[in-house]
Amino acid sequence: MPRLVAYAMAAIAVALVGAGGWLLTLGRDAGQTLYFVTACLLAAASVVLGMLIVTRRPTNVIGALLTFFGLLAIWVALTDVYTYVVAHRPGRLPVSSLLATVRQGSWMLNYVPAALLMLLFPDGRLLPGRRWQVVATGLVVVPAAFIVLAGLDPAPFPPPFAAAEHAFGTASPALARVLGPIAVALLPGLLALLVASTVAMVVRYRRATDPVRRAQVKWFALGAFFLPATLLLCWLSYLLLDGPDLVVVGLAATLVAVPTATAIGILRHDLYDVNKALSATVTYGLVTAALLAFYTVAMFVAGVAAGRSSPVAAAGATAVCALALSPLRVRLQREVDRRFYPARQAALATIEDLRDRMHAGEAAPEGLEEALRQALRDPEVRVGYRMPGTNELVTATGESFEAPEDATVIRLGGQPIGVLVRGGNTTRELTRELADACALLVEVVRLRLQLRRALLDVEASRARLLRAGYAERLRLERDLHDGAQQRLVSLGMALRLAQRHLPETDVSGLLDQAVAELGTAVAELRQIAHGLRPSSLDEGLANALTMLVRGVPLAVTLDVCPEPVPEDLATTAYYVASEALTNVVKHSGASAVHLRVSRADGDLTVTVRDDGVGGAQVRPGGGLAGIGDRVAAAGGALTVAGQPGAGTLVEAVLPCGS
């Protein structure tokens, strides 16, 4: 049914345009022709978009109402042209008493389509409740009653219809005294109905839980905002032009804005970020109203002092407005965003706050994703970081990140540095704005990720080199033990055996000397092998340290964790303990020393504490400096502490994993 009604009204609209063209041939006035053509073009937006809606949504009455909106605008333009022809081309057309009668109160019909749209948008149904049925009925009955009552007024019609008869007849003087107040009472009644229609739109928005429905209502509100904007243009027109000429611009904008916003809200509500558009429209509308108020007061004050038409008055008023504009717009934008676009304000404020706290060293930029999720109340928001020099996307923790095709690219200086993936509660336009706002934070995070990855690579490379060095030392130790050392031992045994079988001669003395030199060579090889890696470590770190402290001429307390320790770290720990104990014996003058090896939180800690004179320091080229280098090569840290007379603490912390 709505489709048939819309088609019928569209056909009537076309017929009215044709009738208007015929009337223009009778009037032959360029101004009237321009007026009628402009009105028809503006009204065509409502008719065409209304037909588009009923084509896509055949059961939705919004399309028919939109078509009626355009039809009414064409009808008003047609009656204006008819009035012009009757007034300026007498005798060309008969005077219609029905048209003259209806025209007295038909202006009320101009408000009906917009009010019904507010009541029924976006699904074409009234809100639940009898009150809204009363409002819808009143929007039809009140204008009709006003047209009838205005037509019954016995006063003659204004020119050019002064001689026309009253099509509805005229009321008697007694009846006119009763009907007159009733007709006047219908004016605030219509105003109340218009307010109720606006309230219905607000109620529908607040009751809506679906983000789609909320976006649709916002789109319609954006178009409806042009109605009060017309009043601002009227105000401005009287200030600048001493007349309402600029109102025509507002009415023309309304004829385009209302149907366009209505059609977008029903058919393409996600075409643009309506929150951003609504926020900007309301902000600049309020700024305009405030500036008009400033300008009015300033013109009045300056006019009193310098004369109403004085250039000084205009310049002074303009200066006042210029000074008020910037801070006023910023404050209004924040307040309007908080009211109409809370998600945008919250997200931008969160990004700015995180950026400030990062500069102050109070927060890490890696918290961007979680901060956006909380600000937008959207747990599906994700941030991906593009590693420099590659196309690889990762999360803030360095894990691989798969970005969907509709992800918004984050750019800095024109270069892609990451992506922002929106959730179901975030619009594309807001996502693009947030991507620009958080670009600096994303750049910092990805550079930190690159640095972290480089450090991990360096640590891994150092660990590999360290393990390779220990493996090579172990190989050399075994080669010396199993190769050259064994050969020398065998050679010594062979020489000793030869000595026993030879008579006592000078050769015997030479053989004794050769065997002694071989023994010295074997001892030196064993010392070299021990320097590469103490053989006592074959039975574990605890065994090696137990054997080490046996040779210390002090009271040593040994506490070693029972967990197995990797070979390379065990060697490093052994040398730390050996060097520290050597320093205690040589320099500390201590009577007791405590050696402790513990393992916790992925670290191996070697602690040597004595009760000696203290004051030990790490000096370049010294033994502690060498141990510090060995510990650093293993990725650890060496600490030497102690005050004179309070003993010395040597502690090495070596990372050994979980």
The residues spanned by each domain of the chain are 1-93, 95-207, 343-449, 456-532, 539-655
User: Are the C-beta atoms of residues 602 and 570 closer than 8 Å to each other?
Assistant: no
Site of tokens 């007849």: 169
Residue 288 has pLDDT above 90, yes or no: no
Q: Which long-range contacts (CB under 8 A, 24 or more apart) does 476-484 make?
A: 476/529, 476/532, 477/529, 477/532, 477/533, 477/535, 480/525, 480/528, 480/529, 481/529, 484/525
**Tokens linked to 417:** 């540095």
pLDDT of 302 higher than 60:
no
- 544-580: per-residue pLDDT in tens? 888 888 878 888 889 998 888 888 888 888 888 888 8
Cβ contact 354:440 at 8 Å: no
| Calculated CA dihedral for residues 210, 214, 219, 221, nearest 10 degrees | 150
Task: Give residues with Cβ within 8 angstroms of 526, minimum separation 6.
Answer: 485
Give the pLDDT confidence score for residue 515 in this predicted structure: 67
In the sheet with 393-394, reading across from the earlier edge strand, the strands are: 393-394, 382-386, 415-421, 408-412
pLDDT class for 225, splitting at 50, 70, 90?
confident
pLDDT-derived band at 240, boundaries 50, 70, 90: low
* pLDDT value of position 537: 78
Token digits of residue 261: 């916003």
Both tokens assigned to 333:
């934008």
Residue 436: both structure tokens together: 């620009």
- Checking if the pLDDT of 268 tops 90, the result is no
b/e for 215-231, b at 16 or more Cβ within 10 A? Answer: bbbbbbbbbbbbbebbe
Higher pLDDT, 212 or 652: 652
Report the C-alpha gap between 280 and 75 in whole angstroms: 34
Strand segments (E) across 247-396: 382-386, 393-394
Alpha helices in 57-172 (DSSP H): 62-88, 97-102, 112-120, 130-152
Residues 6+ apart with CB under 8 A from 157: 100, 101, 104, 164
The pTM score is: 0.54
Cβ atoms of residues 261 and 225 within 8 Å: no
| Mean pLDDT along residues 433-461 | 87
Mean pLDDT of 630-640: 85
Q: Which of 324-333, 376-385, 529-538 ranks highest by mean pLDDT?
A: 376-385
* Confidence check: pLDDT of 355 > 80: yes
Residue corresponding to tokens 């507010």: 118
Using CA atoms, how far residue 625 sits from 527, 606, 628, 650, 653, in Å, is 22, 16, 5, 12, 15
Tokens of 78: 């047609």
> Span 343-449: which CATH code?
3.30.450.40
Query: Is pLDDT of 37 > 90?
Result: yes
Confidence of residue 472 (pLDDT cuts 50, 70, 90): low
Residue 441 scores a pLDDT above 90: yes
Instruction: Look at strands 649-655 and 637-641 and give their pairing.
Output: antiparallel
pLDDT at 269: 67
The amino acid present at 24, given as its one-letter code, is L
Asked if the 539-655 domain carries CATH number 1.10.1060.10, the reply is no
| Distance, CA of 60 to CA of 68 (rounded, Å) | 14
- Does 43 score more than 70 pLDDT? yes
Burial class (CB in 10 A: 0-12, 13-18, 19+), 29: middle
Average per-residue pLDDT for the chain: 80
Say whether pLDDT at 81 is over 80.
yes
Percentage with pLDDT > 70 across the chain: 74
Q: Which two tokens stand for residue 49?
A: 């978009």
pLDDT of residue 580: 87
What residues contact residue 281 under an 8 Å CB cut-off, 6+ apart? 222, 225
Least confident residue range of 12-16, 234-238, 254-258, 594-598: 234-238
pLDDT for residue 312: 44
Q: Give residue for tokens 């602690």.
A: 607
Q: What is the pLDDT of residues 487-546, one digit of tens each?
A: 566 667 766 777 666 666 556 666 666 666 666 666 656 655 555 567 777 788 888 888
**Percentage, residues of the chain above pLDDT 90:** 15
Residue 235 or 396, more confident: 396
Examine the pLDDT at 300 and tell me if it is beyond 50: yes
Give the model's pLDDT for residue 310: 47
What pLDDT does residue 309 have? 47
Alpha-carbon 345 to chain mean position: 10
Task: Provide the residue count of the chain.
Answer: 658
Half-sphere exposure of 486 (CA within 13 A, CB side): 7
Residue with the bigger pLDDT between 644 and 341: it is: 644
pLDDT at 150: 86
pLDDT at 327: 58
pLDDT of residue 652: 93
Using alpha carbons, select from 562, 272, 611, 197 the residue that is nearest to residue 433. Answer: 272
